[in-house]
Structure 1
Amino acid sequence: MENRRSSHNINSLQVHLVWITKYRYQVLQGDIQLRCRDILRQVCNSMDIQII
């Protein structure tokens, strides 16, 4: 992971994202799950965000 540097500090931003539905309903299944995953990956790639 790359550190961001400025003249007075060094930053390493790491985020742990948990994406669940209200009351943990199982709505993201099948084709919807695959499409949401593809959209999330496309957005991350366009914003230069690394998914680990």
Structure 2
Amino acid sequence: MPGEPDRLFLLGLAANPAGTQDFSAWRRVDEIADGPDGALRKGKETDDYRLRYRIERSM
């Protein structure tokens, strides 16, 4: 998003993951590029960014 730091979520999915019916558990952000030089830092429990996902496969 413009004006926002990059946020990385490392999902650890297989190269060809199976579909899922439900959403995953909420995941905390793994890394954020919010330093003055844009360097990545590890996400902390206090970072208010979470993500969950569902894999939908088309036939």
Judge same fold: TM > 0.5, yes or no: no
Flag the structure with more relative contact order, 1 or 2, with Cα contacts below 8 A and sequence separation at least 6. 2
Between Structure 1 and Structure 2, the one with more helix by share is 1
Structure with greater strand percent? 2
Q: Which has the larger radius of gyration?
A: 1
